[in-house]
C-alpha cells in the first residue's frame, strides 16, 4: 500500500468523545489475528507516524496533533474469503475520527455498487464519536480518488468498531455486533485481504486501540443489536368480541430498521413475539400477532429509533382509540385531567417493563391542587393493569392525578363514556 499517497487524499475527505468501556475479544475465536499489544507481538505493526503512537499498558495509543493527516498503524492479516475484524476503542472528548481499513494488494479487486461497479481494493469505516456519525470510504482505482458515503447516525456508547465482509456487502459492526449499515457491492471475488489499518485524526484527538480480532464469518454473532425500546401500555385481542390491537410504525432513519415485537400478558407472561423489517425512511402497519384473548402490553425493540402509535378497536359497538409509542419509563407521572363518575370512566393503562414487581400509588388532586385521596396498587414483574379509577377510589374524581411507582413505568389514560361510544386518550407526563 502506498500509504503516503492515499493518506494525502484521504485527509481531503475526513475531518470531523466520550470514554468508552472495553470489551475483550475471545482470543480462541480470533482465527486470523489477535492483537492485544502485550509482550513483543505488537512489533508486527508499522507505525506511519511513530511520534504519535505509543504502546501503553498493553494498548496502542494514537495522539493526533492535526486535522491534516492520519496517524496510522498497519499490519498484515492474510485472510481468504469472507471475514470480520473488530477492535476495542476508547477516545478523549476532542473532535476527531477513528478508522479501520482492510484492503488487498493483490490483482483481484472489489466492485462497489454506488460507484457504478468501479473497482476498489478495500473499504474504510470511520466513526466520528463526538457527532455520533459514521461513513464508508473507498479508494476508486479508476479515478485514483477517495469516495465516501453519506453520514449515518449511530446510537449509544461506543467501545468497539469493526467491519464484516460478505459476498455482497461490507457491514459496519458496532460493539461486537453487526449493524444495519452496509455498503453493497461484489465482494465475493476477493482472493485475499492482506493489510489492515488502525487510524485516527483530529487536532488533539487521542484514540486507544486494543484486542484487535479478525476471524471467519462463521464465528460472528449476527443477531440484530436491539438498543432502542418503545412501549405500548395496553394490548387487547379478542376475536370473539371483534376486539383488536394494531401498530403503525415509522422508521425515521436512512437505514433499514430491524424490529422485535413482544406481547406480554397483564400477569407478566411473554405470550408471543414477531419480527419486522422497516425500510429506510419507511413505514409499516399491521394487526398484532398476539394470541386470541390476550390482554396486556407490548414491548418493541429496534435497531434504530422508531415513531408510531397503537390503535385499539372493536367492531360492536364500533369504536377505536390510539396511543403514541412510549420511549421512556419514569417513577413519577402526571395525568393532567380526571373525569371519573357515573357518566365517565377514567381507565389508567399502565405497564411495568421490569423484572421486579412495582408498587403504584395513585394520588388524586382536586381542581384547587389539594390532595383528596390516595390508593395503592401492585403490578407484577413485566406485567400491566387497566385500572378503573372510579372503582378503585369508590368516589367521583375531578382534577388531576400523580402516579408514583417503585419501578420505572409508563401509562396512558382512556376516557370512556358510560352512555355513548365516545373515547378519548391522554398520555401520562413525566414529572420530577
pLDDT tens figures, 171-219: 899 988 888 888 887 776 555 567 889 999 998 899 999 999 988 875 4
Q: How many CB atoms lie within 10 A of CB 318?
A: 9
pLDDT score, position 192: 58
97-103 and 122-128 beta bridge pairing: antiparallel
pLDDT at residue 103, rounded to an integer:
80
**Are 320 and 336 contained in the same domain?**
no
Do 122 and 62 share a domain, yes or no? yes
| DSSP, res 106 | S
Cell 364500533 belongs to residue: 318
Instruction: Report how far residue 289's alpha carbon sits from residue 274's, in angstroms, rounded to the nearest whole number.
Output: 7
54 and 12, same structural domain?
yes
- pLDDT single digits (tens) 7-29: 444 444 443 333 333 333 445 57
Separation CA 252–CA 277 (nearest Å): 13
Q: For position 107, what pLDDT does the model report?
A: 56
- Rounded CA-CA distance 163/182 in Å is 9
186 shares its domain with 48: yes
Domain end among 282, 305, 324: 324
Whether 302 and 163 map to the same domain: the answer is no
Q: From 276, 298, 324, give the residue that closes a domain.
A: 324
Q: Tens digits of per-residue pLDDT, 382-403? A: 999 999 999 999 999 999 999 9
Q: Are residues 320 and 399 in the same domain?
A: no
Is residue 78 domain-shared with residue 138, that is, in the same domain?
yes
Task: Examine residue 317 and say whether the peptide bond preceding it is cis (omega within 30 degrees of 0).
Answer: yes
What residues does 273 pair with on adjacent strands? 262
Q: What is the CATH number of the domain that holds 243?
A: 2.60.290.11
Q: Please count the structural domains in the chain.
A: 3
CA–CA separation, 361 vs 59, rounded Å? 51
Same domain, 295 and 340: no
**What pLDDT score does 215 carry?**
86
Q: Are residues 243 and 188 in the same domain?
A: no
* Domain match, 347 and 257 both: no
pLDDT of residue 417: 76
Contacts for 218 with CB less than 8 Å, ≥ 6 apart = none
Residues 6+ apart with CB under 8 A from 389: 338, 340, 345, 346, 347, 348, 362, 364, 397, 401
Q: What is the pLDDT of residue 41?
A: 54
**Could you tell me if 67 and 210 lie in one domain?**
yes
* H/E element, 11: helix 3-11
pLDDT of residue 141: 79
Tens-level pLDDT at each residue, the chain (432 residues): 334 444 444 444 443 333 333 333 445 578 888 888 876 555 578 887 777 898 888 889 999 888 888 899 988 876 666 788 999 999 987 789 999 988 876 655 677 777 676 778 788 899 999 888 999 888 777 778 888 888 888 887 888 999 998 878 888 999 888 888 888 877 765 555 678 899 999 988 999 999 999 888 754 444 567 889 999 999 998 776 788 899 999 998 877 888 999 999 999 999 888 888 898 889 999 999 888 888 999 999 998 899 999 998 887 777 788 899 999 999 999 999 998 888 888 999 999 999 999 999 999 999 999 999 999 999 999 999 999 999 999 999 999 999 999 999 999 999 887 777 777 788 899 997
119 backbone dihedrals φ, ψ, rounded to 5°: -80, 145
CB 163 within 8 Å of CB 173: yes
Cell of 379: 403490578
Residue 125 sits in which domain range? Answer: 3-219
CA distance 399 to 141: 70
Verify that 131 and 31 share a domain, yes or no. yes
Question: For residue 44, with 0-12 CB atoms within 10 Å meaning exposed, 13-18 middle and 19 or more buried, which class applies?
Answer: exposed
This prediction has a pTM of 0.52
pLDDT for 391 equals 93
d(CA 14, CA 18): 20
Q: What is the pLDDT of residue 246?
A: 93
Amino acid at each position: 500500500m502506498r500509504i503516503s499517497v492515499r493518506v494525502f487524499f484521504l485527509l481531503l475527505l475526513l475531518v470531523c468523545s466520550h470514554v468508552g468501556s472495553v470489551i475483550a475479544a475471545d482470543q480462541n475465536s480470533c482465527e486470523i489475528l489477535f492483537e492485544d499489544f502485550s509482550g513483543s507481538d505488537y512489533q508486527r505493526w508499522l507505525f506511519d507516524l511513530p511520534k504519535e503512537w505509543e504502546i501503553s499498558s498493553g494498548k496502542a495509543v494514537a495522539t493526533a496533533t492535526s486535522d491534516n493527516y492520519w496517524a496510522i498503524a498497519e499490519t498484515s492479516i492474510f485472510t481468504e474469503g469472507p471475514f470480520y475484524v473488530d477492535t476495542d476503542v476508547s477516545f478523549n472528548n476532542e473532535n476527531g475520527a477513528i478508522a479501520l481499513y482492510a484492503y488487498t494488494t493483490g490483482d483481484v479487486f472489489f466492485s462497489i455498487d454506488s460507484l457504478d461497479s468501479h473497482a476498489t481494493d478495500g473499504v474504510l469505516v470511520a466513526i466520528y464519536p463526538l457527532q455520533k456519525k459514521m461513513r464508508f470510504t473507498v479508494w476508486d482505482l479508476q479515478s485514483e480518488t477517495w469516495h465516501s458515503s453519506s453520514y449515518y447516525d449511530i446510537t449509544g456508547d461506543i467501545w468497539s468498531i469493526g467491519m464484516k465482509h460478505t459476498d455482497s456487502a461490507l457491514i459496519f459492526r458496532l460493539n461486537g455486533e453487526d449493524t444495519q449499515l452496509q455498503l453493497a457491492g461484489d465482494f465475493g471475488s476477493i482472493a485475499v485481504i492482506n493489510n489492515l489499518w488502525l487510524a485516527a485524526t483530529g487536532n488533539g484527538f487521542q484514540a486507544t486501540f486494543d484486542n484487535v480480532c479478525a476471524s471467519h464469518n462463521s464465528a460472528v454473532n449476527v443477531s440484530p443489536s436491539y438498543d432502542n425500546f418503545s412501549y405500548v401500555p395496553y394490548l387487547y385481542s379478542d376475536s370473539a368480541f371483534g376486539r383488536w390491537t394494531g401498530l403503525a410504525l415509522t422508521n425515521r432513519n436512512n437505514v433499514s430498521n430491524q424490529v422485535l415485537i413482544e406481547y406480554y400478558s397483564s400477569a407478566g407472561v411473554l405470550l408471543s413475539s414477531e419480527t419486522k423489517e422497516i425500510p429506510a425512511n419507511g413505514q409499516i402497519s399491521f394487526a398484532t400477532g398476539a394470541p386470541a384473548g390476550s390482554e396486556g402490553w407490548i414491548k418493541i425493540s429496534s435497531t434504530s429509533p422508531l415513531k408510531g402509535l397503537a390503535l385499539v378497536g372493536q367492531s360492536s359497538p364500533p369504536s377505536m382509540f390510539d396511543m403514541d409509542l412510549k420511549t421512556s419509563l419514569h417513577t413519577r407521572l402526571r395525568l393532567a385531567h380526571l373525569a371519573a363518575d357515573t357518566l365517565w370512566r377514567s381507565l389508567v393503562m399502565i405497564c411495568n417493563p421490569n423484572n421486579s414487581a412495582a408498587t403504584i400509588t395513585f394520588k388524586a388532586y382536586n381542581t384547587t391542587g389539594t390532595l383528596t385521596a390516595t390508593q395503592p396498587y401492585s403490578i407484577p414483574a413485566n406485567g400491566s393493569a387497566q385500572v378503573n379509577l372510579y372503582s378503585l377510589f369508590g368516589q367521583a374524581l375531578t382534577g388531576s392525578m400523580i402516579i408514583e411507582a417503585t419501578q420505572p413505568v409508563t401509562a396512558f389514560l382512556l376516557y370512556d363514556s358510560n352512555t355513548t361510544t365516545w373515547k378519548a386518550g391522554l398520555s401520562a407526563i413525566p414529572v420530577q
